[in-house]
Structure 1
Amino acid sequence: MKLTTDSAAVAAAATAAEMGSSLTLRDEMLAAGLLIDTGENGLYGRSQIFEDVIDRLNVAITHLGKDQQPEVLRFPPAMRRTDFEDSEYLKSFPNLAGTVHSFCGDDMGHHRLLRALDDALAEGDGERSDAWLAQQKPTRVVLTPAACYPIYPVMARRGPLPAEGRTIDVLSYCFRHEPSLDPGRMQMFRQREYVRLGSPEQVMAFRQMWIERGSLLVNLLRLPVEVDLANDPFFGRGGKIVADSQRAQALKFELLIPIADPRGKTACLSFNYHMDHFGAIWKIACDDGATAHTGCVGFGMERITLALFRHHGLDVNAWPDDVRALLWGDTESRVVHALQAGQATQSTQTAGVAGERS
């Protein structure tokens, strides 16, 4: 199937010729029509080609975790404000949060809003007044900051976890207020996550398994792989202390791939151990009454897709044959075969270590 157009290819080539070596990945993606500029940094439309790659990545990720028999849940990109408040997200990332406001006034308030809006429109696009926003009030929902956040209150309402714990497959658009020209740092983006709830041992084993499986997927996609200890971007002067503690306890690892940031590599997958943070907040209990621990693996869907275009080119028809076979061929059999080969290698290595010890 041909998934690029002659006009898009010509536009990309013309822009490249005009801008020369200064052309960035963002420029190339926009010129090829793969991303659509909305006029707001970090907020893009996506083309059919871009969406097709994401859809096929999602299929691969589904087969990668199919043997875990996860419960599949899907939520809208908004969550209940009280659940958001309970999550303590604002303690760590107040600068990234996005609230939803709406007009809740009467006729007089509506007239005030319209007058303020008329004044703003008369000013043009440059320095528009936002006075009309004074007529807006917070609603009972906020934008979802991470795909896993709506899960925890739902799990809490079900009562104690079963002895084997629970594994959840979730996908959602997420919002973070960090406008940037780096296309790898979008304000609205999709996260696909597998979330584990259970004992510390269950969650730690889950995270280690997904570090291996995430690396396997990126290897199958023929992308460079580097997994490193990481920390979240905690806010404020106290943020460094929290970040240092997170690193010291090795709670977060990231899979890094060069995309568009000239300063370094971009985190495309993250592997997180929350300890009992969410379990304590929402009183999620294990079957023995202990507070549940949680962890998750998060796939940055747009970031992985950008990495594919960055390393394999803008024409998906020219991508390496094995990458195309994985995404547009028999995805399930290729993923299953790779998982079995990895397990066989691990078993051989384990047997070798045991033989050396004996």
Structure 2
Amino acid sequence: MTVTTPETVGATRGLPSLGPEGTRLLRLLDDTFEGWGLAAGARPMTMPPLLPAADLARLDYYDNFPHQAVLAAPLDLEKRLTSPFDAEHGHWAPAALEPAGLGLPSASCYAVYLDHQGRQVADDTLVTVCSWCFRKETHYEGMRRQLGFRMREVVAIGARGHAEDHLTAFTARVDAFAEAVGLSLRKEAACDPFFDKGGSKALLQRLTPVKYEFLYEDLAIASVNTHRNFFGERCDITLASTGGPAFTSCVAFGLERWLSALTRRHGGWEAATRAVLDAAGPVI
């Protein structure tokens, strides 16, 4: 019997599957990261897998990340008859689809900000979510680069100090956990274009990076991100204490990427799972 692995099943399509061992480790990791959020006071939430494309456009998503964007559209029941499914190429023609009014987000936190739009929040609000995320890539590779993947995030919404302290605390957690499971991570500044390229905020981002990635070898498996008051302003999220726009920050974990890093480091599911089980107790 030929045994296939998650690194090969669906790898070229960006849609690999996980067997029992991988599923167990993924759940163990997610429980660990969620536990950090809950211990810090985060409110667990479940977000929809799709978001209105108009809402994402209002957040400049399609201007800033057009290369990653994936859209969803229903079939046009009449036009599909004249533009049938192309079995040779494996897709529907655009003419057979209704307008694409839904977007598949590339990060879990977008839904959190949209869920809080128009609301006042406490200065120390925390939310944790795990959602399916989607990114168009130039190529796909096992669990390293996927079209659809799961991302656990712990999101801070509130006062500026709260958003900054959140990243400081979770940076220390990521560092300690990585050391405990035997992963040597490199922290590097990255850039997410949340601000107009020619504006003063864009200059500030170049001077003070808003995103740091934690890389295992050449793969980013976690990140800490501050958006200052960008989402607070765009989503009209205000502070109950002052009435001003909320600041936001988030810590993100690409779960499948952690699986890839751990199995490459430890050589297989059993050893990788044991490393996480041994580390989880004192770190959570």
TM-score normalised over the length of structure 2:
0.88
SS in 1 for 2:107: coil
Kindly report which structure 2 residues correspond to 1:74-153, keeping only aligned pairs within 5 A, or say none: 74-106=46-78, 109-114=79-84, 117=85, 120-121=86-87, 124=88, 128=89, 132-153=93-114
**Cα root mean square deviation, aligned:** 2.6
- Partners of 1:133 and 1:230 in 2: CA distance: 35
1:41 aligns with 2:13: yes
1:250 aligns with 2:203: no
- Partners of 1:256 and 1:243 in 2: CA distance: 24
Which of 1 and 2 has higher RCO (CA within 8 Å, sep 6+)? 2
Q: Deviations over 1:8-27 (max 9, x none)?
A: 7xx5xxxxxxxxxxxxxxxx
Kept after mapping to 2: 8 A contact 1:165/1:286? no
Give the residue type in structure 1 aligned to 2:283.
V
Counterpart of 1:173 (choices 124, 132, 136) is: 132
- Residue 319 of structure 1 deviates from its aligned partner by 4.5
- Residue 130 of structure 1 deviates from its aligned partner by 5.8
SS in 2 for 1:94: coil
Corresponding residue pairs, total: 279
Kept after mapping to 1: 8 A contact 2:221/2:258? yes
Give the residue type in structure 1 aligned to 2:164.
M
- Percent identity reads 24
Alignment correspondent of 2:162: 202
Give the direction of change, closer, same or farther, for the CA distance of 1:291–1:54 in structure 2 (3 Å limit). same
Give the direction of change, closer, same or farther, for the CA distance of 1:40–1:101 in structure 2 (3 Å limit). farther
- Partners of 2:120 and 2:204 in 1: CA distance: 30
- Partners of 1:256 and 1:39 in 2: CA distance: 21
Give the direction of change, closer, same or farther, for the CA distance of 1:129–1:38 in structure 2 (3 Å limit). closer
- Residue 99 of structure 1 deviates from its aligned partner by 0.8
Counterpart of 1:325 (choices 251, 263, 278) is: 278
Kept after mapping to 2: 8 A contact 1:36/1:46? no
1:156 aligns with 2:126: no
Give the direction of change, closer, same or farther, for the CA distance of 1:110–1:48 in structure 2 (3 Å limit). same
Q: Deviations over 1:169-193 (max 9, x none)?
A: 0110101111424331211111100
Kindly report which structure 2 residues correspond to 1:1-358, keeping only aligned pairs within 5 A, or say none: 31=4, 33-38=5-10, 40-106=12-78, 109-114=79-84, 117=85, 120-121=86-87, 124=88, 128=89, 132-157=93-118, 159-162=119-122, 164-183=123-142, 184-232=144-192, 246-258=205-217, 265-287=218-240, 288-314=242-268, 316-319=269-272, 322-326=275-279, 331=280, 333-336=281-284
Give the direction of change, closer, same or farther, for the CA distance of 1:129–1:319 in structure 2 (3 Å limit). closer
Give the direction of change, closer, same or farther, for the CA distance of 1:101–1:320 in structure 2 (3 Å limit). closer
Kept after mapping to 2: 8 A contact 1:178/1:185? yes
- Partners of 1:310 and 1:168 in 2: CA distance: 31
Give the residue type in structure 2 aligned to 1:335.
V
- Partners of 2:272 and 2:12 in 1: CA distance: 30
Gaps of 5+ in 2: none
Give the direction of change, closer, same or farther, for the CA distance of 1:321–1:49 in structure 2 (3 Å limit). closer
Q: Deviations over 1:318-357 (max 9, x none)?
A: 448554434xxxx4x4334xxxxxxxxxxxxxxxxxxxxx
Give the direction of change, closer, same or farther, for the CA distance of 1:205–1:35 in structure 2 (3 Å limit). same
More helix, by proportion? 1
Of structures 1 and 2, the larger Rg is shown by: 1
